[in-house]
Every structure is written in structure tokens, then in C-alpha cells.
Chains A and B, each alone.
Chain A
Amino acid sequence: MYSTILHVIRFEFQRSLTSGRILTWLLLCLFPMLLVGMLQWQSDGNLPEFALVMACYTLVPQIGCMLGLLMWASPAIGSEIESQGWIYLTLRSRGRVSVAVGKYVLAYLWCASYGIVSACGVTMLSQHDEPVRLAAALIALVLLSSASYAALYLAIGALAFRRATVVAVVYSLLLEGLISWIPATVNQLTVSYRLRALLIGWLTPDMSQLPEDALLVFGTEPIWFNIACLFIFTAVCMFIALLTIHQREYPVQAEA
């Protein structure tokens, strides 16, 4: 199984080395740095710590990772069906699962790579008092965010392969964008909530300026619990994705 997954990663990596993808990688890498740089320039370097940390978090592990994975993970199955390559992959005894896992790993690597570079870049531009601590926290969040969102979008891609990216965008806006900010039990089921909780746990920025109720949307659970939640979320999404891909009859070609 490992060797077939390696074949997928190798092939997909070769396939992904196009000017368009490399340019996308660069853009996703640079746009958080540009925005953080502009914020600092606008405020003459006096941005409150909490706002600065939140800006770095929102631009890199949150929006940056989501955007990249929407492009790399959600169309994993749909693109194969569209390019008529699915029929050949399913004719390999471990083809379906290997392709899904291989594409997941590659999406993760692409996303984590620009996320790490971007995290280092925004840390330098932020002029934070503890740059190493900030960079380490952002990188850890990038790694966790990439793993969770890649699994989520792969599952969406497996279930709704025809409109995978659209469904993933709607899901992200609705659940990760809106519901995760609602101070109720439901927001604890989102990845954003767990990532924010980890951010607070690792960096403990000064939140005294915020109303007390705001803590409800940042989470106060222990770090290990939030990490465990993200692992469970990732495992459940991967299970759903792999089971669907293994069992489902996807359209392979037109009737001849």
C-alpha cells in the first residue's frame, strides 16, 4: 500500500509542477505577508498585540490554508473523473484508496509548505515581541489546519464530486466562517474554533480589551483536548472520504 501511495505522490507532484500552480503557491505565500506589512505600516507599528496575532492567524493558518486546499484537495476525485483517468485508477486493486491518500498527502505538503514560509514571513513583518514563539505557534497551527481542512475537503470532494469546490466554499463560509463564531455548542464542532483555542493557549495574547463573552468564541479547553479534537475530526473525515471512494460507483465514461 505504501509503495502505491508513493507512486501517486510522485506522479501527482510531477503533474502539479505547472507555472499556474507555482504562481498560486507564491501568491498564497505572499498575500498574508503583504497584508500584515500594510497593517503595520498603516498603524506605524503600533497595532495592538491581540489584533496583530489575530491578523497573522486569520491570514495564514485560517484563510491561507483553506484557499489552497480548496484548490488542491476538494477536486481530488472530480478532476480524475473529468479527465477520464478514474477508470484506469479503479482498475488497480488498491487504486482508489492509494489515489485518495496520495492526493491528500500532496495537498497537505503543498499547503503546509507555503503556510510555513508565510508564517515565517508574517512573523518577521509583525515585529512581535516574541517572534520565535509566534512563528512556532503559527507553524503548528498551519500543520494542524492543513491536515484537518485537507481531510474535510477530500471528504466533500468524494461525496459531492461534481460541484466539490462550490460545496466546499459554501461549507467553509457557513460553518467555518459564520457558525464557528456563534457562542454556542455547535461552534465547538468546527476546525476554526479549535485552531483559535490553540492560538490562545499557545500565545495567550492580552485579551483584556475584549468583553468577557468573547471568550466563548475562543475556547478555554486544554491544549491536548483541542489537538485531540482536530485529530478525531481529521480521522473521521478521512474515514468518510476513503469509505465513499472505496464503495461508490463514480461515472467512468460514456456508454459506447
Chain B
Amino acid sequence: MTPIIQFSHVSRFYQTVIGVGDVHLDLPAGAYGLVGPNGSGKTTFINLLAGMLRPSIGEVGVFGVNPVKDRRVLRRIGLCAASDLLYPNVSGLQWVEYLVGLHGFSIDEAHDRAVATLIGVGMEANMRRPIGSYSLGMRQRTKLAQAIAHEPDLLILDEPFNGLDPIGRFELTSYLTDWISRGRSLILASHILHEVEAVTKAFLLIHGGRILASGDAADVRAMLSGFPAQIFVRGEGLPRIAMELSSERWFRGLDLSADQAEMTIRVSDKVAFLKRLVELANLPQVNVFALESPDGSLESAFEMLLRVHRGEHVAEVAH
């Protein structure tokens, strides 16, 4: 499939700070979550994609076109930015109508599209009120409306769930799921993993300006299969268990809480660990109350990737 987004060894520097570093990827049409903590480079990635920033090194292509050199491609992109709206005395309808008009639509057509889209995002009752009187959720809906009113092929959302109440989150998730089902592409940037997981299973994990992994959760888990799994244990006599386990060949490390009632253990063979734990649980003054393995969630995969990225697993393997 022809990629809609191409990053060819793209780096973007802010003086001595790396915004994104050597990103190289080809993404076919589809929906992707761009997941990373605050300051990880998500917004820089999006700004490069939308042609607002030029790469310091490398080249960016969207629908086969460099968005800085040929801005006509922007007509195919809709962006809902993370920044807030600060036009207090303008109504949501006037603002959306204006931005739709800037895509080249006539005044009447821009008006019709703005009204229809604002109704579609649940702003029918409030679209004629000044933006200054909107709640954060209403402003998010209005921002979404301006991004989709011209029917782009690629929708980019930067932290769209910020400020939305649970109903708003549910409605936005449903809207985005519907958007994807209509065959349109989506980039959803967020630092909240479960929100991304509710919309799409394919994601790009970004940290320190680098794409750590891409694919779905299963792809990442497969990639990490050789790395230690983390298991959380709560109980009594945990120092004894820790001492017994430390001599096992699959043991990779642990963190024991100050009150010695909880520990997180890292092992390379989960089955062997569980068998041994059953034996240890029968020792006198040892009780295991809870056992949790977050593996399987996107969050745990992300945590694992960050540890790999920081080189922590190397130390653990050496141990």
C-alpha cells in the first residue's frame, strides 16, 4: 500500500535540543496512536507532518508531497491542535466558518459545512455563543469541528481528550471509531494509553524524539518477548521469597517496598517463576495475597520499551 506519511531520517533540532531524532517511517493509510509522555516530541512530529516546521535533516512527505514546499496538500489534512482557543468575542460558528472558508469554499458553503459539522460534534445549542463563554469541552468540540468540516483524508488530533468529561470522551471515541470505519486516516497523539487503545490498536511509541516502536500491542509484545517480564507481588515474608529467587537463573531483579509488603520482580521465564512461587508460598511465615502482571496492556509494553530504551534491561541481564 502507498504510504500516506513518509519520514526519511528526519531530525528536527531546537538549537541544542532534539525535537525529533532520526525518525524513519512509512505509514500506509490507517489509524495510528502517537503515544508518548509529555515532551516526548509528539507535537514536533505533528508540526513536521503539517508543514509548520521544516526538518533540520531529512524529508517529510504527506500523500507523497512535501507539505512545506507544496501547501496545497494541507487541504487533505485536518488538525485539532493541543493549544487552547483564545478568540473570546467570536462565536464558534464564526470561527469554524472562517477556517473552512480559508480552504477555498464560498461563504455560503463554508457556513453550511460549519453548521453541519458543529451540529455533528454536539455544539448545536452553543455554536452561536462567544467562544469566551465555552467550557473546555465545548472548545475541544469546536476545535474538532474546524478540523473535520472540510472532510480531510487525514485527521490529526493532538491530545483531544483534554478537558472532556466522561460523556465527552465516550462521544469522541465513538466519533473517531466511526471516522476510521469510513476508511479515513487518523493520527491520535496522546499521553494516555487507554484512550488511544479505545480508538486504535496500531500505534507509534515516541520518547525523547525517537520512535521506539510501531505496530499493534501484539507486535510490541513479540518484540519484547526476550526481555524480562514484570510481576507485582503483595504478601508477607517477601524478603525470604526474594532471597530464594535471587539464585534462580531466570531472575533479573526486584524492587522491594520499604514496608516489605510489596515487591515488583523481573523474570525472564514467567512459568518457571510461578512454579517456584507456589513452592515458596508453602514456607512458614510466607503468605502471598496478590499477584499481578500488567503484561498484555499497551501501558506495560510502553514501560518495557522505555526501560529498553534507557538500557535498563542490559543491567538486569548482566545481573
Residues of A within 8 A of B (CB): 3-4, 6-8, 10-11, 14-15, 18, 82-85, 87-95, 98-99, 249, 252-256
Q: Given A6-B107, A91-B79, A255-B44, are A84 and B102 also a contact pair (CB < 8 Å)?
A: no
**Which one, B73, B87, B158, contacts A85 given CB within 8 A?**
B87
Instruction: Show 18 residue pairs from A and B whose CB-CB distance is below 8 angstroms, ordered by the A residue.
Output: A3-B106, A8-B102, A11-B101, A83-B86, A84-B81, A84-B83, A91-B77, A91-B79, A92-B103, A94-B71, A99-B102, A249-B54, A253-B81, A253-B83, A255-B39, A255-B43, A256-B82, A256-B158
Given A85-B87, A87-B52, A98-B102, 11 more A-B residue pairs with CB atoms under 8 Å apart are A3-B104, A3-B106, A4-B102, A4-B104, A11-B95, A84-B83, A85-B85, A90-B51, A90-B52, A91-B77, A92-B102
Interchain nearest-CB distance for B97 vs A (Å): 8
Interface of A is mostly: helix
Q: Check if B72 is an interface residue, CB within 8 A of chain A.
A: yes
Name the residue among A98, A249, A253 with the largest chain B CB count within 10 angstroms: A253
Contacts of B85 in A (CB 8 A): 84-85
Asked if B81 contacts A87 (CB within 8 A), the reply is yes
Asked if B74 contacts A253 (CB within 8 A), the reply is no
Which residues 56-83 in B have Cβ within 8 Å of A in the complex? 71-75, 77-79, 81-83
Q: Given A15-B87, A249-B53, are A88 and B101 also a contact pair (CB < 8 Å)?
A: no
Contacts of A256 in B (CB 8 A): 38-39, 42-43, 82, 158-159, 189, 191
- With CB as the reference atom, state the residue of chain B lying closest to A12: B98
Q: Check if B267 is an interface residue, CB within 8 A of chain A.
A: no
Asked if A3 contacts B83 (CB within 8 A), the reply is no
Bound-state CA distance A253–B162 (Å) is 16
Q: Check if B50 is an interface residue, CB within 8 A of chain A.
A: yes
Contacts of B104 in A (CB 8 A): 3-4, 93-94
Count, A-B residue pairs, CB within 8 A? 104
Contacts of B41 in A (CB 8 A): 255
Bound-state CA distance A94–B102 (Å) is 7
**Which one, A4, A254, A255, contacts B101 given CB within 8 A?**
A4
Asked if B74 contacts A92 (CB within 8 A), the reply is yes
Q: Check if B99 is an interface residue, CB within 8 A of chain A.
A: yes
Bound-state CA distance A254–B47 (Å) is 11
Interchain nearest-CB distance for A55 vs B (Å): 37
Asked if B74 contacts A18 (CB within 8 A), the reply is no
Asked if A88 contacts B99 (CB within 8 A), the reply is yes
Q: Check if B94 is an interface residue, CB within 8 A of chain A.
A: yes
Residues of B within 8 A of A (CB): 19, 38-39, 41-44, 47, 50-54, 71-75, 77-79, 81-87, 89-90, 94-95, 97-99, 101-107, 110, 146, 158-159, 189, 191
Interchain nearest-CB distance for B205 vs A (Å): 16
- With CB as the reference atom, state the residue of chain A lying closest to B146: A88
Bound-state CA distance A158–B83 (Å) is 22
**Which one, B53, B81, B98, contacts A7 given CB within 8 A?**
B98
Name the residue among A18, A85, A253, A256 with the largest chain B CB count within 10 angstroms: A256
Asked if A253 contacts B103 (CB within 8 A), the reply is no
- With CB as the reference atom, state the residue of chain B lying closest to A250: B52
**Which one, A11, A93, A254, contacts B71 given CB within 8 A?**
A93
Bound-state CA distance A174–B301 (Å) is 62
Asked if B75 contacts A93 (CB within 8 A), the reply is yes
Bound-state CA distance A94–B41 (Å) is 27
Asked if B52 contacts A11 (CB within 8 A), the reply is no
Contacts of B90 in A (CB 8 A): 11, 14-15
Name the residue among B72, B94, B104 with the largest chain A CB count within 10 angstroms: B104
Q: Given A91-B50, A92-B74, A95-B102, are A83 and B87 also a contact pair (CB < 8 Å)?
A: yes
Asked if B79 contacts A87 (CB within 8 A), the reply is yes
Q: Given A249-B54, A256-B159, are A18 and B89 also a contact pair (CB < 8 Å)?
A: yes
Bound-state CA distance A32–B71 (Å) is 46
Asked if A7 contacts B74 (CB within 8 A), the reply is no
Contacts of B50 in A (CB 8 A): 90-91
Asked if A253 contacts B89 (CB within 8 A), the reply is no
Interchain nearest-CB distance for A188 vs B (Å): 39
- With CB as the reference atom, state the residue of chain A lying closest to B85: A84
- With CB as the reference atom, state the residue of chain A lying closest to B76: A93
Bound-state CA distance A254–B84 (Å) is 11
Asked if B94 contacts A14 (CB within 8 A), the reply is yes
Asked if B101 contacts A85 (CB within 8 A), the reply is no
Bound-state CA distance A10–B97 (Å) is 11
Name the residue among B38, B52, B73, B86 with the largest chain A CB count within 10 angstroms: B52
Bound-state CA distance A82–B84 (Å) is 11
Bound-state CA distance A3–B82 (Å) is 29
Bound-state CA distance A98–B104 (Å) is 11
- With CB as the reference atom, state the residue of chain A lying closest to B41: A255
- With CB as the reference atom, state the residue of chain B lying closest to A18: B89
Bound-state CA distance A10–B84 (Å) is 23
- With CB as the reference atom, state the residue of chain B lying closest to A16: B89
Asked if B52 contacts A3 (CB within 8 A), the reply is no
Contacts of B44 in A (CB 8 A): 255
Contacts of B89 in A (CB 8 A): 15, 18
Contacts of B74 in A (CB 8 A): 91-93
Interchain nearest-CB distance for A251 vs B (Å): 10
**Which one, A11, A83, A252, A255, contacts B81 given CB within 8 A?**
A252
